[in-house]
Amino acid sequence: MAILKKNAFSRRVPDLVTEELVAVLSRRASYEFKELFDIVHENLRARNAASGGEEMLRLRAYEKLQNLVARGAVKKNGKKYKGLPSSLAKAIAPPNGHIPGPRLATVK
Across the 108 residues of the chain, what is the mean pLDDT of every consecutive 10-residue run? 60 77 91 95 88 88 94 93 86 60 53
Give the count of domains, the chain. 1
Residue 99: inside a domain, yes or no? no
Predicted confidence at residue 57, as pLDDT, reads: 92
Q: Does a structural domain hold residue 86?
A: yes
Residue 87 inside a domain? The answer is yes
Please answer whether residues 50 and 58 qualify as being in contact, where contact means their C-beta atoms are separated by less than 8 angstroms.
Answer: no
In a domain, 65, yes or no: yes
Per-residue pLDDT at 89: 78
We report the CATH number of the domain holding residue 33 as 1.10.10.10
User: Would 2 be classed as within a structural domain?
Assistant: no
For residue 64, what are the domain limits? 16-92
Has residue 77 been placed in a domain?
yes
> Could you tell me the pTM of the whole model?
0.71
Listing from the earlier edge strand, what are the strands of the sheet with 30-32?
30-32, 80-83, 74-77
